[in-house]
Amino acid sequence: MMDVCTLYKRNSTHIYLDYATGDVLLAILLALTLGSLGPASPENPSFFVQVADIDRNWPSVLSALAGGALLMFGNLTLQIALTMGTSLGVILPIQGALCVIISTTINYALNPDANDPTLLFTGMFFFLLAILASSCAEVGYKGFLANYELEHPKGIAVRRAERKTKAGAEASKAQDERFPDGGEPQASAEASEEGRAESSNGEVEGELVDEAATIRAKQQSSAVVRGLVVASCGGVAFGFFSPLFNIGVNDQFRWLPEGTVHLT
C-alpha cells in the first residue's frame, strides 16, 4: 500500500497530510449529520445547540480539542520517526505501550467506580505481553538478516573494491611464483606492475569507501536514536489523548457552571 501511495514522487509527509485533511473533513461531516440525529432535549442537545453554548462549556471543548491535537501530534511523530530510519516494528510497540500504560492509569484514576481494576489491568497486561512478543519478533528478524548477511553494512562499492584488491593480489602472487628469481620478460613485468597497481588502487578505494560507510553508519545510528526519542514523545501524547476526551465529556473536575449539559 505504501508503494502505491508513494508513486509520482509522493512521500510519507504527503500521505500524512491526506490523512489529516480527510480526518478533519470526516469529523465535520459527522458532526453536522450524526451529531444532529434524533430529537433535541435539554439532556441531549444537538451539535448546534452545544456550539451555541460555547460561552459556558468552553472548558470541555478546550479539553476535547487538546485531546485531538495530541492524537494528531502522535500520528505526526510516527511519520517523523520513520523518516529518521527507525523501524515500524519498534515504533509501534513503544507508542502502544506508553499509550496503554498512561491512558489506562489516568482513566482509572478519573473514574475508579466505573471500572473493574482486575479486568482493566489484566487486559493491559496481555496487551503489553503482545507488544513484547512483537518487539522480540522484530529483534529476531534483524538477527536473521545479520546471520545470513542479507544486509552488507558497507555497501556494493566496498565489495567491488575488495574483489579488485583480491584479484590484484592473486595476479601478483601468481607472477611471483612463476618467476621467483625476478627474471621475467618485459611483458610479464608490465603485467605484474599492473596487477600490483590495481591491487593498490583497490585497497585505497576500499579504505575510502569503508571510512565513508563508517561515517554513514554513525549518522544513521544517531538518527535512529533521535527517532526513538520522537516515537516516545508520540507515545506519551497518545497516552493523554483518551483522558482529555474523558475529561471533556464527563467533567470530573467540575469546570462547567452549574446546570451546563456535558458534551456528547
**Domain chopping of the chain, boundaries:** 2-147+221-250
* pTM reported for the whole predicted model: 0.66
Provide the pLDDT confidence category of residue 1 given band limits of 50, 70 and 90.
low
Q: Which residues contact 74 (CB under 8 A, 6 or more apart)?
A: 95, 99, 234, 235, 237, 238, 241
Q: What angle do CA 223, 226, 232 make, to 5 degrees?
A: 140
Range with the largest mean pLDDT of 13-22, 81-90, 140-149, 243-252 = 243-252
Structural element, H or E, at residue 74: helix 54-83
Per-residue pLDDT tens for 49-58? 888 888 899 9
- Dihedral of alpha carbons 187, 188, 189, 191, sign: positive
Instruction: Tell me which residue has cell 460555547.
Output: 54
Give the single-character DSSP code of 180. T
Q: Which amino acid is at 99?
A: C
Calpha distance 27→19 (Å, rounded): 12
Task: Round the CA-based radius of gyration of the chain to a whole number and report it.
Answer: 31
Range with the largest mean pLDDT of 20-24, 135-139, 210-214 = 20-24
Q: Helices 186-250 and 54-83, interaxial angle, to 10°? A: 170
Between 154 and 16, the more confident residue is 16
Structural element, H or E, at residue 132: helix 117-147
- Dihedral of alpha carbons 231, 237, 243, 248, sign: negative
